[in-house]
Amino acid sequence: EDKVVQSPLSLVVHEGDTVTLNCSYEVTNFRSLLWYKQEKKAPTFLFMLTSSGIEKKSGRLSSILDKKELFSILNITATQTGDSAIYLCAVYSDMRFGAGTRLTVKP
């Protein structure tokens, strides 16, 4: 059965810290991996990754995919309280989501 596992499930840090969120997957017919940020309601799209080893970057956020080891990481540097959210990883073979990582950034 296809599965997407995110870790940790919950994380509390202080402003300025750097965090790394993990997403591992076992799916048939992998096509792409997506990261979303969900603050209160609608998840918003962050990154889509299809190729191994190519870092995607947007401001303080970056992500990379390893298709050999079947995982992706999402890095957030110099965290701010506005980064507090649930971060969702989704793998497109049949759009399967992980359980999410709840990040809390304290001032």
Regarding 97 and contact with another protein (CB under 8 A), the answer is yes
Does residue 18 contact residue 105 with C-beta atoms inside 8 Å?
A: no
For residue 65, the one-letter residue type is: L
Regarding 34 and contact with another protein (CB under 8 A), the answer is yes
Find the part of the chain contacting another protein (CB under 8 A) among 13-21, 32-40, 55-63, 64-72. 32-40
Regarding 4 and contact with another protein (CB under 8 A), the answer is yes
Find the part of the chain contacting another protein (CB under 8 A) among 13-21, 27-35, 55-63, 69-77. 27-35
Say how many CA atoms lie within 13 Å of 103 toward its Cβ. 29
CB nearer to another protein: pick between 14 and 31: 31
* 82 backbone dihedrals φ, ψ, rounded to 5°: -70, -10
Regarding 32 and contact with another protein (CB under 8 A), the answer is yes
* 81 backbone dihedrals φ, ψ, rounded to 5°: -60, -30
